[in-house]
Amino acid sequence: MSTLTFHDPRGEAKTSPEPYGLSTRLDQPITIGLVANGFPDSVRFLDHVEKALAERLPSASFNRYDKGDASSVVGEGMLDDIRSECGAVIAAYGH
């Protein structure tokens, strides 16, 4: 009879975890940026995200951004727009 051994591929962390310190208030009007990264269906996925958030956050408005190309980074112009227009941002990709 053979024994089955499982290997856990997770390594040990070299640094201690730190809590995520950024936050935004969602109990007041806010503009949320939705950034599609250019993968197929990323825009369509964010359509569903926007719909779900709008139901839960009726005072929120949404600005849409699309990199257009999954292999490129968000340009400085788009980053400036996001910074000046949004109080929060969600970046997403499709499959």
- Residue 77: predicted pLDDT: 95
- Residue 69: predicted pLDDT: 87
- The amino acid occupying position 69 is D
Decide if 1 contacts 30 (C-beta within 8 A). no
Label residue 89 by pLDDT band (50, 70, 90): very high
Whether residue 20 is predicted with pLDDT greater than 90 in this model: the reply is no
State how far the Cα of 78 lies from the Cα of 42, in Å rounded to an integer.
17
**pLDDT tens figures, 41-88:** 889 999 999 999 999 999 999 999 999 888 888 899 999 999 999 999
